[in-house]
Amino acid sequence: MEFELWWLLGIPAFFGLGWIAARVDIRQLVSESRTLPRGYFKGLNHLLNDQPDKAIDSFVEIVRQDPEAAEMHFALGNLFRRRGETERAIRVHQNLLSRPDLPADERAHAEYELGQDYLKAGLLDRAEETYQRLLDTSYAVQARRALLEIFQREKEWVRAIEAAIALQEAGAGSRQKEIAQFYCELAQDALVHMHPDDALPLLDKALHADRTSVRGTILVGDVQQAKGETEAALATWRRVEQQSVPHVALVAQRLMDGYRKVGRPEEGVSLLKSYLQQASSIDLLEVVFKAVLELEGVDAAKQLVGDELRRTPTLLGLDKFLEARMLDAPPAVLGELSLVKNLVHGYTQKLARYQCSHCGFKARQFYWHCPGCSRWETYPPRRTEELNVMN
C-alpha cells in the first residue's frame, strides 16, 4: 500500500480535536460540580472516611435546603436503613412518594426502596403490598425476587413456587432446584400431618423440577415407609447413591432400620460398609459401628473403626476409636482411656458441625435451607473437620 503524505498532516489534527473534546468535558464537569451543594461533598467525604453519622447530618441538611433533591432522599434513606433506623428510612421514602410531580421511574425507585425498608423492619405484609405494585414497572424482577424471599420467610410454599416460576419466565435464571425444595417442604408438611398420599404427587413434581433432588428421593422413601412399603422404601433410598454418594450418610439409619424390619440386617450392614468405602463419613461410620457391634460383636466393631481411622485420620474418627477401645478395656486402663476420650470428645464437639458453603454458617444438624443466608442446598453432608481433611 502506497504511503500518503496527508496522513502525517492529519495526525496533529486528531490530537488537537482530542484536546478540545477533553477541555469541553472538563469544563462541563466543573460547571456541574459547582451546582451541587457543598453539603453533598461533605457527606461524600464522611462516607469515604467511614463516618456515616456525619454523612447523614450533611445529607439531611441538603434535603432541608432542597426538598426536590430526589437522589439525596435515596442516599439518606439507604443510610438510615443500613444503620438499622428503618422508621426514619420509611419516612424519607414515604415523603418522596408524596410528591405528585415525581417522575414515574423515580416513583418506582422510591417504591422499591420503601419495600426494602419494610423488609428490613420485618413488616412483611407491607413489603409484599409494596412489591406487588412494582410488578408492572422496570423494577419487576427485583420485586419478584423480594416477593420470593418474603414467601419463603412466611413458609408460603405454594406462593413461593408461583414467584419462582414467574422469575424464570422473566429471564432471571433457573429456579428449578428451589422449586423442587418448595415442593419437598409441602410434602414434608403432609408427612408430618400423617397424609402420605398427599405427599406423593408433590414429590413427583419436585423430582420433575429437579431429577437430581436428593431430598425428593429421600422423602419418597419416607412416604413408602409410612405406607408400610418397606421394600419399596429401601429400593428408593438406595437410589441416593446414584445421585450423590456423600449423601448416603443421610439415609444410612433409614436403610439399617428398614433392613432390620424386613429381617435382613446383615444385608444392610454389608451395603453400608460398601458405602463407607466409597465415601468416608463420621455419620455413616456411627450407624455402621452400632450395627456391626450388635451383629458381629466388639472385636469386629473395633476393627471397623480402626481401619477407618487409618484410612481417614480425623479427631472425630479418633473419638469413635477410643469409644470402641473402651468397650472391653481392662479396668487398669479404662480410667486412662476415659480421660483421653473425654478430652478428645470435648474438642471434637466444635468440629462435628455442618457448614454452609456460601456464608459459612455452622450448625449441629444438617439443613437443606441455610438459616444464615437462606440459600438452598449449600450444606455438604459432611462435618467441617472431614471437609478440611479432604481439602
Known binding-site residues for Fe cation equal 356, 359, 370, 373
- Tell me how far CA of residue 6 lies from CA of 13, 14, 19, in angstroms: 11, 13, 21
What letter represents residue 315's amino acid? Answer: L
**124-152 burial string, b = 16+ CB within 10 Å, else e?**
eebbbebbebbeebebbebbbbbbbbbbb
CB 129 within 8 A of CB 158: no
CB 273 within 8 A of CB 288: yes
Place of cell 414467584: 163
Q: Residue 76's closest CA among 98, 47, 50, 36?
A: 47
Taking 3-state DSSP, the helix, strand and coil percentages for the chain, each rounded to the nearest 5, stand at 75, 0, 25
DSSP label at 3? P
In the annotated binding site, the residues are 356, 359, 370, 373
DSSP label at 134? T
CB 144 within 8 A of CB 164: no
Query: What does the alpha-carbon distance between residue 337 and residue 330 come to, in Å, rounded to a whole number?
Result: 10
Place of cell 445421585: 243
- Residues forming beta bridges with residue 245, ordered by sequence position: none
Query: What does the alpha-carbon distance between residue 111 and residue 108 come to, in Å, rounded to a whole number?
Result: 5
DSSP label at 247? G
DSSP label at 369? B
